[in-house]
Amino acid sequence: MRTERTLTRLDRLFARLDREPERPAHIDVPRMSRHRVVLLAATLAFYLAIVWAVVTTSWLVRLDWQVMFFRPYQQWPQIHAFADYYVVLGQRGPTAVMVAAWLGWRSWRQHTLRPLLALGAALLLLNVTVGAAKYGMGRLGPHYATVIGSNEMGLGGDIFPSGHTANAVVTWGILAYLASTPRARRWLSALSAVTALGVGLTTVYLGTHWLSDVLLGWAAGLLILLALPWCEPLIARSEAALLELRDRRRARYGRPAPRPAPAPAPVPAAGPPVALGPRVLADAEAPARDAVPAAARPPRAPVYLAPGPHLARSERTPVTPTGSRRPPHADRLPRGTSTARPLTGG
C-alpha cells in the first residue's frame, strides 16, 4: 500500500515559490541614493542633538517637566479610552503580527521571500539599536522621576528613546518601504509618519514618556528605515540560502526536481500526397505512432470535434440538406398525394 507524505505549510509555501522562481521585474528595490544619504545624515544629526539637549539639561528638559505637570490626561479625560486603544499601534507584538500577516500575503502573491526578510531585518535593527540606547542612557520615566528639573539620566531606567514611537515608525514604515509604486510609497510614508507621531504623543498624554523620548524614538525609527537599503544584499543572500536549503531538504526526502519532457522523435520527410481513405491512412500511420513515446505524443483532439482547421461561418461551404427536416410520422403522407376524405354532416 502506497502512502503519500502530508505537505506542511513550509512545503506549500515553497511550492508556491516554484511557480515563479525569479523575482518579478516590476518590483522596485530601494537603493542608497544621494537623497537618502542626505536624509540619513540630517536625521542622525537630529538624533544626536536631542541626546545632547537632554544630557546637558537644556530647555528641552524643562519643556518635558512642564508637559508632565500639565497632565494632559486630566485636561482631556474624554479621550482617555481612545488613547488606551490607539497606543496599541506602537506595541511591538500586535503590530508585528498584523504587518507580518500582510507581508506574508505579499510574499505569496509576488513569489519572493523579500518582504518577510525585510521586516525581520528591520525589527532586528530596531531591537539592537533602540534597546542598546535605552539601557545605555538609563533614563527614568515621568512616573518614576526623583528630582524636579533633572534629566533623570543614568538611573537604571529604559524609557529613552520611546520604544512605542520607534516601533510604530518601523513597522508601519516598512509598508511604505516595500510599496510597488512611487505614489503608494509617498502616501504610505506620510500615513506611517503621522501614525507614529500620534502614537508618541499618545504616550505623552498618558504620562508614560517624556516629550523628548518621543522625538528621539521617531528619529531612531526613521534612521532604521533610511539605512535599510544597505541590508538589501544581505536580504538577497538570505533568500538564496533559504531556497538552497529548501532544495537540499527536498533531495534528502527523495523528491527530486521535475525533469523536462523528452523531445519528440523526428518525423521523416513526407512524399507526394496520396489520396487515401481514413481507414487506410490510420493503418499506415500506426507503426510511426507506436514508435513515438506516449509522453511525447501531441494531445489528441476530442472525438466530438471535426478534424481540420476551424473555419469561420463565412468561409464554410454551404451544404444543401437532402430530404425533409421533419421527423417521420406514421399517419403523415408525402406531399402531392391526395386521398379522399370522408364527408361529415348530413
Angle at 128 between CA 125 and CA 131, to 5 degrees: 130
Q: Which of 182, 166, 165, 180 is nearest to 122 (CA)?
A: 166
Considering only the C-alpha atoms of the chain, give the largest distance between any 2 of them, rounded to a whole number of Å: 134
Q: What is the mean pLDDT of residues 304-333?
A: 54
For residue 307, report the phi and psi dihedrals to the nearest 5 degrees. Answer: -70, 160
The answer, yes or no, to whether residue 113 has pLDDT greater than 90, is: no
Instruction: Write out the three cell numbers for 342.
Output: 370522408
For residue 336, report the phi and psi dihedrals to the nearest 5 degrees. Answer: 90, -5
Q: How confident is the model at residue 345 (pLDDT cuts 50, 70, 90)?
A: very low
How much is the mean pLDDT over the chain? 77
| Contact (Cβ atoms closer than 8 angstroms) between residue 177 and residue 225 | yes
pTM of the model: 0.64
| Contact (Cβ atoms closer than 8 angstroms) between residue 188 and residue 99 | no
Q: What is the DSSP string of 135-183?
A: HHH----GGG--STT---TTSS---SS-HHHHHHHHHHHHHHHT-SSHH
Angle at 75 between CA 69 and CA 80, to 5 degrees: 110
Q: Which of 200, 115, 125, 120 is nearest to 162 (CA)?
A: 200
Q: Which of 129, 117, 109 is nearest to 233 (CA)?
A: 117
- Least reliable range by pLDDT among 27-31, 107-111, 194-198, 279-283: 279-283
pLDDT at 247: 80
Angle between helices 114-137 and 163-177 (to 10 degrees): 160
Q: In the chain, what percentage of residues exceed pLDDT 70?
A: 65
